[in-house]
Amino acid sequence: MADTVAQTSNMRENEHFSPTVDGGFVHTGGETHVLNADTNILSLDNIRAPTEMTDGGDVYPEEEDEDEDVELSPGGVLDEETVARGLSNIGRSADGSQHVFLHLSAPGFSLTDISLLVNYVHVQKVELPYNEISDLSPLGNLPYLLILDLSHNKISNLLDFKPPRNLKDVDLSYNEIEEMSDLSAHHYLTKLCLDHNKIKEIKGLERCKRLKHLSLAHNKIEKIQGIDNLPIQTLNLCHNHIKKIENIESLHQLCNVNFSGNNIRSLKGLEDHSIMECIDLEDNEVIDISEIKYIRDLTMLRELNLLRNPIQELPDYRLSILFRMQSLTQLDRHRVDAEEKVAALNMFSPPPEVIAARDHIMHVVYSFLQPSRVLDNTLPSIETPYPMLVLVGPQGSGKKDLAQKLVEEFQEYFGYCVTHTTRKPRKDETPEKDYHFVDLEKFEYDIRSGMFIQTHQHNGHWYGLQMQSIEDVAREGLACVVHMELEGVLTLKNTYFEPRYVLIMPLSEDCHEKRLRENGIHSEPEIDNSLRRAEMYASYNQNHPGFFDMMINSDDIEDAYKRLRRLVMDYLGISMPSYGSEMGEMDRTEMENNAPTAFTRTWSRPSIPDSMSQPYARGKSTQSPVLSGRGILEEMSLKRRHSAARASVAGYVPPLFEQITSQYPKTAPQTVEGQMGLGVQGDLDGDINRSQSAPVAKPPQGEDDEDTSSSDRSDSTISMSSAGKRAESPDGSVHEAKELQLPTETINPLELSAPRPPSAPRPSSQGRPGSDRHKVLPPISPKPQY
Ligand X SMILES: Nc1ncnc2c1ncn2[C@@H]1O[C@H](COP(=O)(O)OP(=O)(O)OP(=O)(O)O)[C@@H](O)[C@H]1O
User: Interface with ligand X includes 395 (CB under 6 A)?
Assistant: yes
Q: How far is the CB of 194 from ligand X (least distance, A)?
A: 58
Quick check: 320 and 295 in contact, CB under 8 A? no
Q: How far is the CB of 399 from ligand X (least distance, A)?
A: 5
Amino acid 367 reads S
Q: Which residue number, 124 or 397, has a Cβ lying nearer to ligand X?
A: 397
Q: How far is the CB of 318 from ligand X (least distance, A)?
A: 32
Under DSSP, the state recorded for 749 is G
- Point out which span in 285-293, 392-400, 505-513, 638-646 binds ligand X (CB under 6 A): 392-400
Q: How far is the CB of 461 from ligand X (least distance, A)?
A: 7
Q: Which residue number, 176 or 434, has a Cβ lying nearer to ligand X?
A: 434
Alpha helices (H) along 668-709: 670-675, 690-693, 705-709
Q: Which residues of 412-430 are buried (b: 16+ CB within 10 A; e: fewer)?
A: ebbbbbbbbbbeeeeeeee
Cα–Cα distance measured from residue 413 to residue 195, given in angstroms and rounded to the nearest whole number? 81
Handedness of CA 399, 400, 403, 406 (dihedral sign): negative
- Point out which span in 54-62, 165-173, 398-406, 666-674 binds ligand X (CB under 6 A): 398-406
**Residue 419, phi then psi, degrees to nearest 5:** -95, 175
Q: Which residue number, 462 or 616, has a Cβ lying nearer to ligand X?
A: 462
Report the residue number whose CB is nearest to ligand X. 488
Q: Which residue number, 330 or 459, has a Cβ lying nearer to ligand X?
A: 459
Residue-wise DSSP of 138-164 = GGGG-TT--EEE--SS---BTT-SPPP
151, 197, 419, 759: residue in contact with ligand X (rule CB under 6 A):
419
User: Interface with ligand X includes 610 (CB under 6 A)?
Assistant: no
Question: What x-and-dash track marks residues 487-526 binding ligand X by CB under 6 A?
Answer: -x--------------------------------------
Q: Which residue number, 239 or 458, has a Cβ lying nearer to ligand X?
A: 458
Q: How far is the CB of 450 from ligand X (least distance, A)?
A: 16
**Residue 321, phi then psi, degrees to nearest 5:** -70, -45
Quick check: 682 and 675 in contact, CB under 8 A? no
Closest by Cα among 158, 51, 42 to 94:
42
Cα–Cα distance measured from residue 753 to residue 690, given in angstroms and rounded to the nearest whole number? 7
Question: For the purposes of burial, counting CB atoms within 10 Å of the CB of 73, is it exposed (0-12), middle (13-18) or buried (19 or more)?
Answer: buried
User: Interface with ligand X includes 360 (CB under 6 A)?
Assistant: no
Q: Which residue number, 458 or 774, has a Cβ lying nearer to ligand X?
A: 458
User: Interface with ligand X includes 400 (CB under 6 A)?
Assistant: yes
User: Interface with ligand X includes 484 (CB under 6 A)?
Assistant: yes
**Residue 242, phi then psi, degrees to nearest 5:** -80, 135
Q: Which residue number, 33 or 456, has a Cβ lying nearer to ligand X?
A: 456
Under DSSP, the state recorded for 73 is S
Question: What x-and-dash track marks residues 445-464 binding ligand X by CB under 6 A?
Answer: ---------x-x-x----xx
Q: How far is the CB of 463 from ligand X (least distance, A)?
A: 3
Closest by Cα among 39, 9, 41, 52 to 27:
9
152, 399, 475, 690: residue in contact with ligand X (rule CB under 6 A):
399
Tell me: cis bond preceding 606? Omega within 30 of 0 counts.
yes
Question: What x-and-dash track marks residues 464-483 binding ligand X by CB under 6 A?
Answer: xx-----------------x
- State the distance between the two ends of the chain, measured CA to CA, in whole angstroms: 97
Question: What x-and-dash track marks residues 121-160 binding ligand X by CB under 6 A?
Answer: ----------------------------------------
Q: Compute how many residues bind ligand X; rule: CB under 6 A.
A: 18
User: Interface with ligand X includes 422 (CB under 6 A)?
Assistant: no
Q: How far is the CB of 711 from ligand X (least distance, A)?
A: 38
Element (H, E) at 445: helix 440-448
Q: Which residues of 638-677 are buried (b: 16+ CB within 10 A; e: fewer)?
A: bebbbbbbbebbbbeebbebbeebeeeeeebebbebbbbb
Q: Which residue number, 186 or 400, has a Cβ lying nearer to ligand X?
A: 400
- Please count the residues of the chain: 786
User: Interface with ligand X includes 405 (CB under 6 A)?
Assistant: no
Q: Which residue number, 465 or 479, has a Cβ lying nearer to ligand X?
A: 465
Q: How far is the CB of 496 from ligand X (least distance, A)?
A: 17
Cα–Cα distance measured from residue 725 to residue 328, given in angstroms and rounded to the nearest whole number? 71
User: Interface with ligand X includes 397 (CB under 6 A)?
Assistant: yes
Q: How far is the CB of 429 from ligand X (least distance, A)?
A: 8
Q: Which residue number, 106 or 486, has a Cβ lying nearer to ligand X?
A: 486
Footprint of ligand X (CB under 6 A): 395-400, 419, 423, 454, 456, 458, 463-465, 483-485, 488
